[in-house]
């Protein structure tokens, strides 16, 4: 059987509904129970996003948000709508806030931090300023004592 989306590529699954941790099965569909939960609960979560961002009706569509997932869409269409919303606004979804933050921190920790020349220059300048301040304090103390 050929899959629409390749499996086991070593990358995160492109069949997974983020936050919910539901997967599109080998029959290319979500289970009936998971699909129903997704359609009902996503409306609540997207409402939290809209409220959290304080958006009006006209602003909702310009940000790429929807108020509810269309049950007439295929599971892959729902996936392509839900995951970007979760990625961008998961921190506003009460149920997923901690999970979203944890995944973002994990990605940040896995990135290697390379010091730039500008950073090194600033570090050197701060160090020199600290030395100058210490010299000034030392001279002031000498004048007071001597």
pLDDT digits (tens, 9 = 90+) for 17-64: 999 999 999 899 999 999 999 999 999 999 999 999 988 888 887 877
Q: Dig out the tokens for 37 from the structure.
A: 């939960």
**Tell me, what's the pLDDT at 112?**
59
Query: Which residues have CB under 8 Å from 108's CB, separation 6+?
Result: none
DSSP calls for 23-74 = E--TTSS--HHHHHHHHHHHHHHHHHHHHHHT--HHHHHHTT--SS--TTS-
CB half-sphere exposure, 8, CA atoms < 13 A: 1
More confident residue, 108 or 1: 108
Work out the burial of residue 21: count CB atoms within 10 Å of its CB; fewer than 13 is exposed, 13-18 middle, 19 or more buried. Answer: exposed
The rounded distance, in Å, linking the Cα atoms of 34 and 16 is 12
**Tell me, what's the pLDDT at 2?**
61
pLDDT digits (tens, 9 = 90+) for 73-125: 999 999 999 999 999 999 999 999 999 998 888 877 666 556 677 777 788 88
The rounded distance, in Å, linking the Cα atoms of 73 and 69 is 8
Q: Dig out the tokens for 139 from the structure.
A: 């001279």
**Tell me, what's the pLDDT at 9?**
65
């Amino acid at each position: 059987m050929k899959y629409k989306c390749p499996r086991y590529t070593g990358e995160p699954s492109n069949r997974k509904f983020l936050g919910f941790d539901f997967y599109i099965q080998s029959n290319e569909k979500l289970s009936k129970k998971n699909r129903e939960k997704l359609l009902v609960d996503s409306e609540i979560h997207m409402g939290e996003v809209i409220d959290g961002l304080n958006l009006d009706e006209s602003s909702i569509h310009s940000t790429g948000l929807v108020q509810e997932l269309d049950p007439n869409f295929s599971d892959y269409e729902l996936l392509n709508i839900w995951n970007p919303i979760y990625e961008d606004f998961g921190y506003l979804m009460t149920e997923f806030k901690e999970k979203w933050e944890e995944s973002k921190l994990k990605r940040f920790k896995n990135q290697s931090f390379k010091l730039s020349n500008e950073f090194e220059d600033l570090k050197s300048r701060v160090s020199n300023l600290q030395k100058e301040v210490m010299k000034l304090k030392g001279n002031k103390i000498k004048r007071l004592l001597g």
